[in-house]
């Protein structure tokens, strides 16, 4: 599951936690799955951020990273207090609406910075509450019509910068255990394999295929969240 999740992120720029968390939750506690996906996902995002950094939209990345950090403490409160099923249902509905809006041609001007702050903050909240902080960023970057290279680079730089803040918050609140480190150690080789596969595949995907893949992942993540909320 880690191999598939990391390959997906290498191809599309996101999707690691969207795939890994639901699958990991079948075998371990949901909160443990969130922590494990956050830590392992940080390695994947950082590797891709460094590899593709020349394509990143720096000013946009800075705004998103700063506001994500502002949102993280709120997300941690949600992580500790709010019912996971309720949160996943809300996330699923919102992501599904966003996916439909994008498919119908919704766009955001590059000069519109207010929405950058909002989506960055929402990403931070989701980072520490569900580990699925991608949807707000995907919605924003797709609505701004970024090309695949800029999309992947920008979103992974944000993921990399913010994942370490999320890990720190989990650590200081005692939500990272020795068992988590064992899981991380086992996952890293599988993650590297997935990255190698993903980097090879993405060179064969054009802009339109990339766009379809992004929509498919958004809709898939929304449905996954809704199903998880219902069966929880």
Could you give the angle at the alpha carbon of 123 between the alpha carbons of 167 and 53, nearest 5°?
75
Global pTM reads 0.82
Q: What's the confidence (pLDDT) of residue 26?
A: 67
pLDDT at 8: 86
pLDDT of the chain along its 232 residues, tens only? 678 888 888 888 887 777 777 667 667 776 777 788 888 888 889 999 999 999 999 999 999 999 999 998 998 888 888 777 787 788 788 888 888 888 888 888 777 788 999 999 999 998 888 767 888 898 899 899 899 999 999 999 999 998 888 888 888 878 777 777 777 788 888 888 999 999 999 988 888 889 888 888 888 878 877 887 777 6
Residue 63's pLDDT is 94
What is the model's pLDDT at position 95? 82
pLDDT at 118: 94
* pLDDT at site 132: 75
- Determine the pLDDT at residue 232: 62
The whole-angstrom separation of Cα 218 and Cα 160 is: 20
Output the CA torsion 38→97→49→24 (10° steps): 30
What is the per-residue DSSP string for 152-217?
HHHHHHHHHHHHHHHHHHHHHTT---HHHHHHHHHHHHHHHHHHHHHHHHHTT--HHHHHHHHHHH
Interatomic CA distance for residues 154 and 76, integer angstroms: 24
């Amino acid at each position: 599951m880690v191999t598939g999740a990391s390959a997906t992120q290498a191809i599309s720029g996101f999707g690691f936690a969207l795939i890994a968390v639901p699958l990991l939750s079948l075998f371990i506690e949901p909160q443990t799955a969130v922590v494990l996906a956050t830590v392992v996902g940080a390695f994947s995002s950082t590797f891709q951020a460094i590899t593709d950094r020349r394509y990143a939209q720096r000013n946009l990345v800075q705004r998103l990273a700063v506001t994500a950090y502002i949102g993280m403490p709120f997300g941690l409160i949600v992580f500790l207090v709010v019912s996971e099923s309720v949160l996943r249902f809300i996330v699923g509905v919102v992501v599904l609406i966003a996916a439909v809006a994008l498919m119908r041609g919704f766009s955001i001007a590059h000069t519109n910075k207010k929405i950058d702050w909002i989506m960055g903050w929402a990403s931070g909240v989701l980072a520490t509450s569900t580990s699925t902080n991608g949807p707000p960023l995907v919605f924003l970057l797709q609505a701004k019509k970024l090309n695949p290279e800029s999309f992947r680079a920008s979103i992974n730089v944000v993921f990399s910068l913010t994942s370490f803040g999320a890990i720190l918050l989990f650590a200081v609140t005692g939500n990272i255990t020795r068992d988590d480190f064992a899981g991380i150690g086992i996952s890293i080789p599988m993650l590297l394999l997935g990255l190698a596969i993903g980097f090879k595949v993405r060179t064969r995907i054009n802009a339109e295929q990339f766009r379809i893949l992004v929509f498919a992942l958004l809709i898939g993540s929304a449905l996954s969240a809704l199903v998880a909320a219902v069966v929880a």
